[in-house]
Structure 1
Amino acid sequence: MLTHVVLMKFTDPADAAEAKELLEGLVPGVPQIQKLTVGVDVVRAAVSWDLVLLTEHADLEGLKGYQEHPSHLEVAGWLRPRLASRATVDF
């Protein structure tokens, strides 16, 4: 099992809600996603990120398949210009 964690900070934090919907919409069409959770920050502290994405995959190949899937690439294309910063951890 491989867990993929992504923290996102948006140029406009209001974009986090739409990002959540787009990311959750990946589940039915991307078979490499075993589990997906998206959370939008509610505290809004100075050290907070706007959104967290957690996905689970069978293995590294599953993660790569997810990352290369056309649906994921489409959502990533929407996200990239709206992000101020991003951090990831895979374990």
Structure 2
Amino acid sequence: MIKHIVMWKMVDPAEATRFKELLDTCKGIVPGMREFEVAVRAEGFEANHDVALYSVFDDAAALQSYIVHPHHKEVVATSPARASRSVFDYQT
């Protein structure tokens, strides 16, 4: 299994919820996607980013299918401005 974690800092943190809603439309778009959860920074908790994605794929091929999927690319292209992005992929 491949775990794919991505975190973003938004240019305007008020856009985090809209970004989450866009990312949520990617859930289940490819075979081999096992888990897909998007979270927005919660008040009162420590966070260096505004939005986080935790997803699990059967293998690297399923992850790659997600990355190049036309819907995923459209979401990335139409999302609110992000100041930074951090990614951590690992195999279990």
TM surpasses 0.5: yes
> Secondary structure in 2 aligned to 1:65?
helix
Number of equivalenced pairs: 90
Q: Aligned ranges for residues 53-72 of structure 1 at < 5 Å? A: 53-72=53-72
Question: What one-letter code is carried by the residue in structure 2 that aligns with 1:27?
Answer: K
Cα distance in 1 for partners of 2:30, 2:20 equals: 16
TM-score of the two chains, using structure 2 as the length reference: 0.86
Q: Aligned ranges for residues 12-91 of structure 1 at < 5 Å? A: 12-43=12-43, 48-79=48-79, 82-91=81-90
Question: What one-letter code is carried by the residue in structure 1 that aligns with 2:88?
Answer: V
RMSD (Å) for aligned C-alpha atoms: 1.9
> Secondary structure in 1 aligned to 2:13?
coil
Structure with higher helix content: 1
Question: What one-letter code is carried by the residue in structure 2 that aligns with 1:6?
Answer: V
Query: CA separation of 1:46/1:35 partners in 2, compared to 1, >3 Å: closer, same or farther?
Result: closer
> Secondary structure in 1 aligned to 2:33?
coil
Q: CA deviation at 1:33?
A: 2.4
Give me the identity figure in percent. 34
Structure 1: where are the runs of 5+ without partners?
A: none
Structure 2: where are the runs of 5+ without partners?
A: none
